[in-house]
Amino acid sequence: MSSEPVVKTLQSSDGTPIHAEFMGDVQKPCLVFVHGLNMSSVAFDGMFRDSSLLREVCMARYDLRGHGRSGKPEDPEAYKSSLYADDFVTLMREFGYTKPILVAWSYGGTISCDIYASLSADTLAGVVYLCAVPYIAPPMFPDSITPPTVALIQSQMAGTDVASYLRDKTAFIDAIWQDIDNVDYRLRLTWLAPGFVQTPQVMRNVVTRPQDPTKLLEAVGNGVPVLMLYGDADKMVSGAFVAEKMQPCCTNAEVHVVKGGGHAPFFEHQEEVVRELLKFVDRIKTSGKP
């Protein structure tokens, strides 16, 4: 197996370029990592280098439309739920895998809603909500998000002046970390950069796009395996709120709380998160779901 990922720029159904990467053997269970708001797939660099994961699974990651190295259309019509599902299908076809496990971080959790709204109910083998918001509609959005984070999102959508826009982008990303003072400066810049290439209009498109969670809730109610994993010191999303609202809808769900974990436990508590991911993969394999 190559130690370097396959990196490609794909074309989605509407022509939007989608930056994507794949690593591993497609005969193994596949994890598809989806990043959060203002971010890109660079957030998962550590996971893509993790030897425990590389032994057991193949992995894919991509930059969502409106983010990172993917296209950032200004037209709100380019952010329809069906197009997010098309982006995912394009990724699956290019890299040749079926029934992956979605590992969705933060805003990336909303992609599960897009997938189930437009694709078949057996598209995914399971869903991991990693400090994630499952869909953009009440009660999940905005109630699962902390008030300071809501204020930062609203100000970025308004984009009244360049200085405040960049200031709020920086404050948003800094809140991801449990202890920003201990974050390597170069790494901090790497995580900050993707948000700076978005315009206020793109932010509005991403955050206000309509979603219908009906089919997602049907799927988890019919037994799609779900893992809700979050840090109990998250400054941005209330994982406890998400679990409280989602658990009654699920028939095959587990919750794991990372003690002292912030909004990026896969970075600050990587070993623990990898262990829980592999336990989830094994549970799905054992149950015969893939």
Residue 255 pLDDT grade (very low, low, confident, very high; cuts 50, 70, 90):
very high
Alpha-carbon distances of 126 from 84, 99, 253, rounded to whole Å: 18, 8, 10
φ, ψ (nearest 5 deg) of residue 126: 180, 170
Burial label, 7 (beta-carbon count in 10 A; 0-12, 13-18, 19+): exposed
* 22-49 tens-digit pLDDT: 999 999 999 999 999 999 999 999 999 9
CA 223, CA 181: separation in Å to the nearest integer?
42
Residue 2 has pLDDT above 70, yes or no: no
Mean pLDDT, rounded, for 249-262: 97
Structural domains in the chain, sorted by start? 6-287 (3.40.50.1820)
In residues, how long is the chain? 290
Count other C-beta atoms under 10 Å from residue 8's C-beta.
Answer: 14
* 170-224 tens-digit pLDDT: 999 999 998 888 899 999 999 999 999 999 999 999 999 999 999 999 999 999 9
From its phi and psi, is residue 15 left (phi > 0), alpha (psi between -120 and 50) or beta? Answer: left
DSSP state of 31: E
The per-residue pLDDT of the chain, averaged, comes to: 95
Task: Specify the residue for token string 């002292």.
Answer: 260
CA 176, CA 178: separation in Å to the nearest integer?
7
Residue 288 has pLDDT above 70, yes or no: no
Closest-CA residue to 153 (of 140, 162, 142, 138) = 142
Question: Which pLDDT value is given to residue 179?
Answer: 85
Question: Which pLDDT value is given to residue 1?
Answer: 47
CA 72, CA 65: separation in Å to the nearest integer?
6
* 71-104 tens-digit pLDDT: 999 999 999 999 999 999 999 999 999 899 999 9
* 124-158 tens-digit pLDDT: 999 999 999 999 999 999 999 999 999 999 999 99
Question: Which pLDDT value is given to residue 287?
Answer: 81
Question: Which pLDDT value is given to residue 80?
Answer: 98
* 107-133 tens-digit pLDDT: 999 999 999 999 999 999 999 999 999
